[in-house]
Structure 1
């Protein structure tokens, strides 16, 4: 137990002592977070700029492990802080009940003794009647009725019972939180294992369940709130409330559009660690089951094998995201922000190169068909390439952010690609995310550009056409099968800010060319006029020719290093005119 609760202890208790302890753990959590960020954003990049070789690689690995330890300390110290605040509140409520009972007893001219019992005076009644002696009562005893009872007895008993109930309540609070706080103790080693990360999820659930009364004082975010509503809710919390809510709801906070990117990044980096640990342990369990059933591997259940393969795909994607987060400082790449991550269906991830809340130019890239978490690394690299080229061709005094947004279920086969269902589902999600970027942005509004590739251009086009005031200033379509409308004017931004480019050999963007590889080859172009055609009414930019073989090679060339298409997209991001066939348009 934290306290040996009795009347004297509760009477002398100062809940502020526990609140001060909570402040200390919150500061420790903040310091651990800062140390983690310093390692990622300053120390490791600084070493990589001046050192080379195996010694550097070994040092970087050790520092990244240390950063993981700091992240774990941040999570656990935050939980302890929130738990202590909840404990303090519940103790305070019990102490208020005690103080009120003692005050009321004193006002009734009764004496509260050192052990919480109450003494009462004799009662003489009417003149000449027999006096009824006084006495002492303790809590937990019912009132008595009948002749010859001193009326002061029941009054004293009532107050003694109130005192007893307050002490009992404080004891229950102490018992509950003693167990929960004990469970927050970490292993006494320097290795943060998968099991440690899994335990943080249990710790959060347990602390969250116990802290219901405390969290009732912190308004929950609005259910299905808009980005504006989410931001207003967050701004209405005190720093202490933000810290405690974040500590208890890390995964939830990471999903809320409209919150600061740094806050979402904290939540999603935790989700990345916890999700990776969860799938690693599940894989270990399945492998043990497989080996137990068939040690020689000849009779492995197809179900077990399939589950292991599926987990391997999830882990491949999660590890690619973590590797890119770890690459901060390499190849002139700034800090990355993880604004979304999950392994549902084929998985989702949202990564920003640079802080979009502070950037002057923000680009959001929406990938297309066959995109999934399993292979997300190449799509993050596209966002990184566009960032470096935009910076190289832009104003050195401006800040940039280049995002990769896989926040929807991209089609994975020709049948799904030929339908609008997934685009219809993804476009409002994209709209909310982009609205959230505008809400969380600091200072003057950014120049926001949307970049849709392949089926991602259809998602982008539907988002634009479905919002009379879309949250972007310009759009780029590359390798597009159509954007859901026949005219640039239907996208609700000025047609001069609607740009499209395609490679001559891009089969997807050259619909409805008949081909066995073309899912639309037996009908008209289903998603509207080719956005690179003059009759669409937008602007076109030059793209290098791609290889005709293999058939879809040209569909992925738009981010080729130092290519015409990449340079032109970077110019558009900077609000400048791109080149068309080597000449300005």
Structure 2
């Protein structure tokens, strides 16, 4: 970078380029969504056979390319904006220095040096003028032209601005070079891993730019997060999301579309990370046991644990890919991670736009590894609610595994995990209200098994809970003895259980009872008239195997599923309730 280049530089050219990449990122995002929500579902409605399956598989691979393009173009846009800001700061310093020199009647030459005129001293003594370049010290002593040091000061300021611009150019040239993709059409696991490095590398150099974008409030409430997001410009939102793509997926209160983008990236990145770690461990195992006689149990156990994580991630991805099948609308991924037994939050339909919103909290033994079945439950309730509801209304059915569900009888007999999960559930539901558009939705909370205890803890702990109604099925208790203690009108608190549900019927003298004999540890049975809530009808189900009836509430076309759907729609169940 030299004086002439910096002086004539148009910073707006880089800002315009950033806008172009941001638009390219948005176009890639839209293309990805169009493939998922229109092209693939349209083909599946009208075509059948192996050719369809092959075409759909190729289109899903293409959608990965669009998602990768979205992420990388977003990063390039943010990087160019950060580069433009730092370059603008250097250019402003240059322009101010040149202006100050001109005001002091000094001449700035084409190479950035500064010329000064002769000085007439006492006794007609004349000291000739000259030209100085930046980087030199001021001089003192007799016979020095006073204009010399003034010119030197301005020349040094000009040189400092050029040096700063040169350093900025070198820094961002390297970073932008690192954002180049491989010259192939396959987005591999290593490519997704590299995006994480790209984000970190870009973030490390963009501090000055990000300082201009207000950070989200530290430990902010959903309402504070929503207000922060609403206060950003479109460009700031795009750049912040590009540089913090995983973070935006975790912020309750942000629009579901934004959280979905962040979490879909996290899903791809997590899958890539664990696939590569698995390959590394397999390679290590094979190097240690080349003749096959020995097995490193530590490595084998780690591989099995990774396989469980990948199984869960793949199930989530499979459901995201199923948009359009069986009348299922677009799915929104509102949370995903592989910590402990893993967590996932999936919405069938956009909750920000829905008139009726249901959030299902699963119970014991739920984990990322087997989360597909719980997503299917949310899908089933969505389909039933739509079938029985107003065709003019919009619906959303969510599966919330945002807590650590108990995985054994010892853990399920204690309230600790429910106490830990309730605040997270409350924040999430508050976030749904903060991000909702238009008239408030009719929000219903559905807790199953231990998930009903988590739900009850949340409701009883909030004087103004963020839902309008609650449904409990297969419940061992909800933490209180009376519906009124849930801070909802008792007529909006519903419960149902199968006659053969051994969990909901506890405590019964049974080998399946993990609690002490004769007393329910989590409060009165919510289907008991003493609880003071409402009941709805549920089919009896099978007595064998023992826990079969505990999972029947979502059976297709069942009494329980239809009743839950009617309640979600703000209507009265068709059976099991006292007459109005």
Would you say same fold, with TM above 0.5? yes
Whether 1:137 aligns to 2:125 is: no
Are residue 43 (structure 1) and residue 43 (structure 2) matched?
Answer: no
Deviation at 1:506, TM superposition (A): 1.0
| Residue 489 (structure 1) aligned to one of 454, 463, 484 | 484
1:116 counterpart = 2:119:
no
Instruction: Measure the CA separation in 2 of the matches of 1:275 and 1:354.
Output: 24
1:55 match = 51
1:580 aligned counterpart, secondary structure: coil
Summarize the Cα distance change of 1:138–1:266 in structure 2 as closer, same or farther, 3 Å threshold.
same
Partner of residue 217 from structure 1, selected from 206, 212, 219: 212
Relative distance call for 1:493 and 1:582 in structure 2 (3 A) is closer
1:11 corresponds to 2:4: no
Shift of 1:75: 0.4
Matched, 1:443 2:464: no
Could you say which residue in structure 1 is the equivalent of 2:163? 168
CA distance in 2, matches of 1:389, 1:206: 47
Note the 1:252-401 alignment, pairs <5 A. Answer: 252-401=247-396
TM-score, normalization by structure 2: 0.99
Match of 2:408 in 1: 413
Shift of 1:151: 0.9
How has the CA–CA distance of structure 1 residues 404 and 554 changed in structure 2, closer, same or farther, with 3 Å as cutoff? Answer: same
* Counterpart selection for 1:553 from 548, 551, 557: 548
After TM superposition, give the deviation of residue 584 of structure 1 in Å: 6.3
Q: Hey, what's the Cα distance between the residues in 1 that align with 2:579 and 2:397?
A: 24
Alignment partners' CA distance in 1, 2:16 and 2:192: 27
Give the drift of 1:104: 0.5
SS of the aligned residue for 2:358 comes to strand
CA contact (8 A) 1:514 1:522 kept: yes
| CA distance in 1 between partners of 2:448 and 2:90 (Å) | 60
CA contact 2:508–2:518 (8 Å) conserved in 1: no
Structure 1 range deviating more: 189-198 or 514-523: 514-523
Query: Could you tell me how far apart the structure 2 residues matched to 1:515 and 1:298 are?
Result: 46
SS at match of 2:572: coil
Please state whether the residue corresponding to 1:45 is helix, strand or coil: helix
Question: What's the secondary structure of 2:126's corresponding residue?
Answer: coil
Q: CA deviation at 1:540?
A: 0.6
Q: Residue in 1 aligned with 2:227?
A: 232
Distance 2:249 2:447 in 1: 24
Equivalent residue of 1:496, what SS?
Answer: helix
In 2, Cα distance between equivalents of 1:409 and 1:581: 33
**CA positional deviation for 1:277:** 0.4
Cα gap change, 1:377/1:149 in structure 2, threshold over 3 Å: closer, same or farther? same
Give the drift of 1:15.
Answer: 0.5
Deviation of the 1:522 alpha carbon? 3.5
Cα distance in 1, alignment partners of residues 19 and 274 from structure 2: 34
Moved over 6 A (4+): 582-585
Give the Cα separation in 1 of the matches to 2:116 and 2:171. 35
Tell me the CA shift for residue 531 of structure 1.
Answer: 0.2
Contact 2:535-2:576 at 8 Å conserved across structures: no
1:249 is aligned to: 244
Cα distance in 2 between the residues matched to 1:328 and 1:293: 44
Structure 1 CA distance, aligned partners of 2:551 and 2:282?
37
1:457-536 matches, within 5 Å, as 457-522=452-517, 524-536=519-531
In 2: Cα distance, 1:355 partner to 1:130 partner = 84
Shift of 1:130: 2.5
The answer for the alignment partner of 1:576 in structure 2 is 571
Checking the alignment, whether the CA contact within 8 Å between 1:513 and 1:521 is kept in structure 2 is no
1:514/1:521 contact within 8 Å kept: no
The answer as to 2:74 corresponding to 1:78 is yes
Aligned to 1:31: 27
Between the aligned partners of 1:582 and 1:271, the Cα distance in structure 2 is 44
Deviations 1:337-380 (A, max 9, x none): 00000000000000000000111100000000000000000000
Q: How does 1:165-204 map to 2 (within 5 A)?
A: 165-204=160-199
What is the match of residue 539 of structure 2? Answer: 544
Partners of 2:321 and 2:444 lie apart in 1 by: 26
Q: Secondary structure at the match of 1:205?
A: helix
TM-score by length of 1: 0.98
Displacement, 1:582?
9.8
Find the aligned partners of 1:267 and 1:274 in 2 and give their Cα distance.
11
Aligned length: 580
What per-residue deviation string (whole Å, max 9, x for no partner) do you get for residues 44-70 of structure 1?
000000000000000000001011100
Residue of structure 2 in register with 1:207 after alignment? 202
**TM-superposed deviation, 1:129:** 4.1
Alpha-carbon distance between aligned partners in 1 of 2:247 and 2:50, rounded to the nearest angstrom: 40
Q: Is the CA contact 2:534–2:577 (under 8 Å) kept in the aligned structure 1?
A: no
**Which residue matches 1:565?**
560
Mapped contact 1:26–1:77 kept (Cα < 8 A): yes
Which 5+ residue runs of structure 2 have no aligned equivalent? none
How far, CA to CA, are the matches of 2:517 and 2:295 in structure 1?
Answer: 43
Q: Measure the CA separation in 1 of the matches of 2:257 and 2:170.
A: 36
Within the alignment, does 1:66 sit opposite 2:65 as a pair?
no
Asked whether the equivalents of residues 500 and 549 of structure 2 are also in contact (C-alpha less than 8 Å), the reply is: yes
For each residue in 1:554-574, what CA deviation from the matched residue of structure 2 results, as whole angstroms up to 9, or x when unmatched?
111111111111111111111
In structure 1, C-alpha distance between the alignment counterparts of 2:579 and 2:290, rounded to whole Å: 67
Residue 581 of structure 1 and its aligned partner are, at CA, apart by: 5.0
Shift of 1:546: 2.0
Aligned to 1:422: 417
The alpha carbon displacement at 1:133 in A equals 1.3
Distance 2:555 2:104 in 1: 86
